[in-house]
Amino acid sequence: MSDEAKARDDITLFARSIFDRGLTCGASGNISLRLPDGSILVTPTGRALGFLDPAQISRLDPSGVLISGDPPTKEVSLHTAFYDTRATTGAVVHLHPTHSVALSMLADIDPENVLPPLTPYTIMRLGKVKLLPFFLPGDPAMGEAVRGLAGRRSAVLLANHGPVVAGKTLEAAVFAMEELEENAKLAILTRNLDAIGMTDAQVAQVVKQFDVDYD
């Protein structure tokens, strides 16, 4: 099996898992993966992640021109922004999970780090997550906002929209996305309760032990 064929199958497998577990619904959400030659596979526009045909997945050359497959998601600029600014990015996942979207609407969250430090795994897999302002779906300005971060974040949360996560591999990006949603869920469930989060010292220990970029 070629690298491209395996990558198409992997995207389809993870997309179905994401859809079946309710992390995104309808035809929302998109996934991409960078191939060794620099071209990008990305899920097509208007397709539910739970019912993808591997042959439908769009392949774009390094300049963004469609080579094969169906027309790509209208939010492809989000994906290319991460590939262009973070050299280690091998895959990008953008979803609309309920708790993450809800968290993006809260007035008192820290826009520089929207996830409170509740578990070490959130820090290990995501670092700090930046809140970006509201954009219309498909607006190329979303990608420009990511580029403006100059590669300093592997994950962002779009206000009233949903998170975008980059990872070295597709598996890493999906796992980080799942961690983001779980932490958002914990943050909402424990809101206005006397929950004890991680201390600054504990966060520093995790950052040092696992060499996390947490600036």
4, 83, 112, 121: the active-site residue: 121
Query: Does residue 75 have an active-site annotation?
Result: yes
What local confidence, expressed as pLDDT, does residue 112 receive? 96
Query: Does residue 179 have an active-site annotation?
Result: no
Record the tokens describing residue 92, joined without a space. 């990008």
Per-residue pLDDT of 186-212, as tens digits, reads: 999 999 898 899 999 999 999 999 999
Domain 3-200 has CATH 3.90.1200.10: no
Per-residue pLDDT of 147-179, as tens digits, reads: 999 999 999 999 999 999 999 999 999 999 999
Residues facing 60 on adjacent strands:
40, 66
- Of the pLDDT bands very low, low, confident and very high (cuts 50, 70, 90), residue 215 is confident
105, HSE (Cβ side, Cα atoms, 13 Å): 10
Per-residue pLDDT of 106-157, as tens digits, reads: 999 999 999 999 999 999 999 999 999 999 999 999 999 999 999 999 999 9
For residue 72, is pLDDT > 90?
A: yes
What local confidence, expressed as pLDDT, does residue 1 receive? 66
Q: Cα–Cα distance between 125 and 109 in angstroms, integer?
A: 20
Q: Cα–Cα distance between 73 and 32 in angstroms, integer?
A: 10
**Model confidence, pTM:** 0.96
- Among 30, 67, 35, which residue's Cα sits nearest to residue 49? 30
E strand segments, the chain: 30-34, 40-42, 58-60, 66-68, 91-94, 130-132, 155-158, 162-167
Angle of CA points 75, 183, 112, to nearest 5°: 65
- Percent of the chain exceeding pLDDT 90 equals 95
Round the average pLDDT of the chain to a whole number and report it.
96
Helix (H, G, I), strand (E, B), or coil: what is residue 200? helix
- Percent of the chain exceeding pLDDT 70 equals 100
4, 75, 178, 179: the active-site residue: 75
For 34, phi then psi, to 5°, come to -95, 130
Q: Cα–Cα distance between 114 and 100 in angstroms, integer?
A: 10
What local confidence, expressed as pLDDT, does residue 130 receive? 97
